[in-house]
Amino acid sequence: MKTIKGPAIFLAQFMGDDVPFDNLANLVGWAAGLGYKGIQLPCDPRLFDLELAADSQAYCDDIRGLLASHGLQVSELSTHLQGQLVAVHPAYDALFDGFAAPRVRGNPAARQAWATDQLQRAARASRRLGLTAHASFSGALAWPYLYPWPQRPAGLVEEAFAELARRWLPILNAFEDAGIDLCYELHPGEDLHDGVTFERFLDAVGGHPRASILYDPSHFVLQQLDYLAFIDIYHARIKAFHVKDAEFRPDGRQGVYGGYQGWTQRAGRFRSLGDGQIDFKAIFSKMAQYDYPGWAVLEWECALKHPEDGAREGADFIRSHIIRVAERAFDDFAGSGANLRQVRALMGLEN
């Protein structure tokens, strides 16, 4: 069995203009000071030059050296924003345009091509950094039709996933060439948001070996999906892990949809680790049981708590939940040492 690596922290939610959140060197020192051992690094030009990293081993070695000087490693690179732009429904064009490079804004075809190139570069950069997994979003073409009213026309969902597969297959192949698992964070707002939609996509890409899952139980709590049974079903495809808490407290006025309210008023809310309802002891036990090979990464999102408090508490929380797996069975001391011949004799079988 494998012991989960960690704690690590996703830096995206902590970037800002003030020290120590203003550049990678300062963020790395801050994270190390809190006790983290890894960082999930967003491919954001404020922190990381993806174009340079894709083609320059020297640049990637410098990044690794910077982290190593603080006792840190890169857990994964993240292209959540770029992955979102691989597939954008026209209803969201204006809102998502800001995720793209300025030169392709206002041009959906150019924006998609740019996003595809970004993902392919991320595959090469991940290989140069010595990584095994990458975190991203799938984007969405069918999401506006999630609730079927008016009734969806026949074939809409099937064609949406066929088109999603056409867009992602060249990217998945680039990750295959690089030897990196591409982990989709299953997230409401994405066409890949639960087990059923992941299976649809997996079928559409022919069971591609690099199509993997970033497991984040908080998104399943808000959907009222069994997040423990999910691990039993999909553990072979889970190659990345966001440790994020959540709670769901419906009442007589609202449920899963939240009534268009802000985060603090919703029945379903993200919370800092330990403040929500998720059974992380059970999750970490299942991850150990199934030999999860990667990192436990804090993604901090909370409707109430200050991010710096969430980050500080999160390192200890993850560390206390990581199970150092046993190297031998607990009852080995009582082993009989019987050989095959003796085993057969015990069952009355002829040798």
What pLDDT sits at residue 334? Answer: 60
Is pLDDT above 90 for 93?
yes
CA distance 266 to 250: 9
Over the stretch 139-183, which tens digit does the pLDDT of each residue have? Answer: 999 999 999 999 999 999 999 999 999 999 999 999 999 999 999
pLDDT in tens, 327-338: 776 666 666 677
233-260 per-position pLDDT tens digit: 999 999 999 999 999 999 999 999 999 9
| Confidence grade of residue 341 (pLDDT, cut at 50, 70, 90) | confident
Q: Binning pLDDT at 50, 70 and 90, where does residue 128 land?
A: very high
Question: Does any domain span residue 351?
Answer: no
In a domain, 100, yes or no: yes
Rg of the chain, C-alpha, whole Å: 22
In a domain, 169, yes or no: yes
pLDDT in tens, 193-222: 999 999 999 999 999 999 999 999 999 999
Q: How far is CA 177 from CA 23, 52, 96, in A?
A: 31, 19, 29
pLDDT at 332 (0 to 100): 63
**What is the pTM (predicted TM-score) of this model?**
0.95
Flag whether 303 is in a domain: yes
Residue at 163 is within a domain? yes
CATH number at residue 318: 3.20.20.150
Domain residues for 26? 5-346
Instruction: Give, in order, the Cα–Cα distances in Å from 125 to each of 135, 147, 180, 212, 220.
Output: 13, 39, 10, 18, 30
Q: Evaluate whether residue 152 is within a structural domain.
A: yes
Angle between helix 195-204 and 227-234 (nearest 10): 20
In a domain, 157, yes or no: yes
Domain count, the chain: 1
CB contact at 8 A, 245 and 301: no
